Amino acid sequence: METTSQAVILVKCPDQRGIVARLASAIHDTGGNILDAAQYTSESTNTFLQRIHVSWTDKNATQESFQLALNPLIESLQLDLQIKWGEAMRNVAIFVSKEDHCLHDLLLLQRDGALHCSISLVISNHLDLQDVAAKFNIPFHHIPIDDACAAEEEQLKLLNENNIDLVVLARYMRIVSPKIISSYEERIINIHHSFLPAFAGGKPYHQAHEKGVKLIGATAHYATVELDAGPIIEQGVIRVSHKDAVSNLVHKGRDIERTVLARAVRWHLEDRIIVHANRAVVFE
């Protein structure tokens, strides 16, 4: 069956009878074929969440005609609806400091086709990773944070000029300004090198070592104004022991950080995440 267009529909609305049937009927009426569907109901908030992957073979089926078909349901079901069309390539900006493992991993995955996006630029408060970006022919922008206001304006200018859809903080060791966070709400993914909510803030491996933990982890989450408190997308852990120095924890943690961050970025790009009540619901 030849496919002319595809879309992912993210649905959020008050839970009620008939939602799935009415959505499926509207999709059918436009000539759509449901390739995959997953749903979840939050009983604590009485909210229905669903991800639907749809394809069309009818060349007369357009984005406008599909939107018109859904409009009656949006009102009657109180739908909070997002339609992500498959043809659109997302533009990604990566913020880094000095650690290179997460940056390398993202660049390799994108180059090999595992991340469906365009990495438009790398922004850093240091020059250490300029050569890494150059090897992948990615523009590198050094923006020191000596003047926080000037740095924020320059960062925002670059993000706007490049039509950035997603910002990835790949071990960017600075606090992102509230203005940037509000401009890219639920579109900034940070990797924190601990199993949140444990050891938020600076030097989490040092904190973990002092507490003598037996597991260390990494957490990918959407950035919010409150530090390390945004909706958690993905986490991973690895076992450690009293024999491990802080340097050993750092070394072991790097593998988890790159894996967890890559999964979170891929799920975002594939529109598998709905944020509800400060929780990221991930339809894997």
The first and second tokens of residue 13, run together, are: 């609305």
Residues 135 and 33 in one domain: no
DSSP 72: H
Instruction: Provide the 3-class DSSP secondary structure of residue 2.
Output: coil
Residues 42 and 117 in one domain: no
CATH code of the domain in which 35 resides: 3.30.70.260
Residues 127 and 268 in one domain: yes
How far are the Cα atoms of 11, 52, 82, 154, 278 from residue 38, in angstroms, in the given order?
10, 7, 15, 40, 20
Range of the domain at 69: 5-85
Domains in the chain: how many in total?
2
CATH code of the domain in which 147 resides: 3.40.50.170
Q: Give the residues across from 13 on adjacent strands.
A: 48
Taking Cα atoms as reference points, which of 240, 130, 261 lies closest to residue 192? 261
Q: Give the residues across from 91 on adjacent strands.
A: 118
Amino acid at 6: Q
Strands 166-169 and 140-142: unpaired
Residues 155 and 61 in one domain: no
How far are the Cα atoms of 38, 41, 82, 162, 277 from residue 15, in angstroms, in the given order?
15, 7, 17, 39, 15
> Across 17-138, where does the E strand assignment appear?
32-42, 47-56, 80-85, 90-96, 117-124
> Across the chain, where does the E strand assignment appear?
5-14, 32-42, 47-56, 80-85, 90-96, 117-124, 140-142, 166-169, 188-192, 215-222, 232-239, 273-276, 279-282
8 Å CB contact between 224 and 189: no
Residues 208 and 275 in one domain: yes
Q: What is the pLDDT of residue 142?
A: 98
Residues 78 and 99 in one domain: no
The residue from 68, 85, 102 where one domain ends is 85
Residues 165 and 26 in one domain: no
Residue 80 a catalytic site member = no
Q: What is the pLDDT of residue 256?
A: 94
Distance CA 130, CA 60 (A): 47
Distance CA 198, CA 215 (A): 11
pTM of the model: 0.93
The first and second tokens of residue 146, run together, are: 């000596």
The residue from 62, 85, 108 where one domain ends is 85
Q: What is the pLDDT of residue 60?
A: 67
Residues 55 and 192 in one domain: no
Residue 136 CB contacts under 8 Å (≥ 6 apart), including other chains: 107, 111, 119
The first and second tokens of residue 77, run together, are: 């079901």
Q: What is the pLDDT of residue 183?
A: 96
Residues 107 and 182 in one domain: yes
Residues 170 and 121 in one domain: yes
Q: Which of 228, 244, 255, 271 is catalytic?
A: 228
The residue from 85, 104, 124 where one domain ends is 85
Residues 221 and 130 in one domain: yes
Residues 21 and 41 in one domain: yes
Distance CA 55, CA 85 (A): 10
pLDDT, tens digit only, all 284 positions of the chain: 456 789 999 999 999 999 999 999 999 999 999 999 999 999 999 999 999 999 998 776 778 888 888 999 999 999 999 999 887 789 999 999 999 999 999 999 999 999 999 999 999 999 999 999 999 999 999 999 989 999 999 999 999 999 999 999 999 999 999 999 999 999 999 999 888 888 888 889 898 899 999 998 999 999 999 988 899 999 999 999 999 899 998 888 899 999 999 999 999 999 999 999 999 999 98
Instruction: Please report where in the chains the tokens 């992948």 appear, as a residue.
Output: 136
